[in-house]
């Protein structure tokens, strides 16, 4: 099904869920695609690289954990608003492809915080548990693709 892209801009603001969140400047209709991610603003960092990095705590806290490593912003100084998206068990955005394309699962009024379900970001890892140490994955291959949340086999 071809979805229409919302004309809403996403901006950052004080969240009722946690810290900073994403909000729409105008109403979004159910089914419309919401532009929150730039698929080119992420990179893959293996668990071994993360654990050896001076930025390990930053990667583990804000990166998206996946098999063998993390998807992290290419540059923490210039990141898509989607990196600020907060979790909700009953989110107002969903994804058909598990990638960087999100759509409204219901009508969303302007000013409402946009949320996603972190549990759907990876089938094998709970991205709600940010403080869990991930053991090194010596024999695992790096996932293909540049886009954050790129689906791998079995995802």
Higher pLDDT, 113 or 134: 113
Q: Per-residue pLDDT for 16 more than 60?
A: yes
Task: Provide the CATH number for the domain formed by 10-120 in this structure.
Answer: 2.170.270.10
Query: For 17-56, how does the pLDDT look when each residue is reduced to its tens digit (9 = 90+)?
Result: 888 999 999 999 999 999 887 778 888 999 999 999 999 9
pLDDT attached to residue 109:
98
Q: Per-residue pLDDT for 10 more than 50?
A: yes
Strands, E assignment, the chain: 10-14, 20-24, 33-34, 42-46, 64-66, 69-73, 86-87, 93-94, 102-104, 113-116
DSSP 3-state percent helix, strand, coil across the chain (nearest 5): 15, 25, 60
Query: For 71-91, how does the pLDDT look when each residue is reduced to its tens digit (9 = 90+)?
Result: 898 888 888 888 888 888 899
pLDDT attached to residue 129:
62
Q: Per-residue pLDDT for 99 more than 80?
A: no
Mean pLDDT calculated for residue range 111-121:
86
Mean pLDDT calculated for residue range 1-29:
91
Mean pLDDT calculated for residue range 9-23:
91
pLDDT attached to residue 127:
61
List the single range of 18-22, 28-32, 110-114, 135-139 with lowest mean pLDDT: 135-139
Per-chain mean pLDDT for the chain: 78
Q: Per-residue pLDDT for 136 more than 70?
A: no
Mean pLDDT calculated for residue range 6-16:
91
Strands, E assignment, 29-73: 33-34, 42-46, 64-66, 69-73
């Amino acid at each position: 099904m071809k979805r229409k892209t919302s004309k809403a801009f996403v901006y950052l603001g004080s969240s009722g869920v946690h810290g900073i969140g994403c909000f729409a400047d105008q109403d979004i209709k159910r089914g419309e695609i919401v532009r929150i991610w730039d698929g080119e603003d992420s990179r893959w960092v293996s668990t071994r690289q993360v654990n050896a990095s001076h930025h390990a705590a930053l990667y583990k806290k804000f990166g998206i954990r996946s098999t063998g490593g993390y998807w992290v912003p290419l540059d923490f100084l210039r990141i898509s608003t989607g990196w600020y998206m907060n979790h909700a068990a009953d989110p107002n955005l969903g994804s058909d492809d598990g990638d960087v394309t999100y759509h409204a699962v219901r009508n969303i009024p302007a000013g409402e915080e946009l949320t996603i379900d972190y549990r759907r970001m990876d089938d094998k890892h709970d991205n709600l548990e940010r403080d869990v140490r991930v053991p090194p994955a010596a024999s695992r291959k790096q996932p293909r693709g540049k886009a954050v949340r790129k689906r791998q086999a079995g995802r």
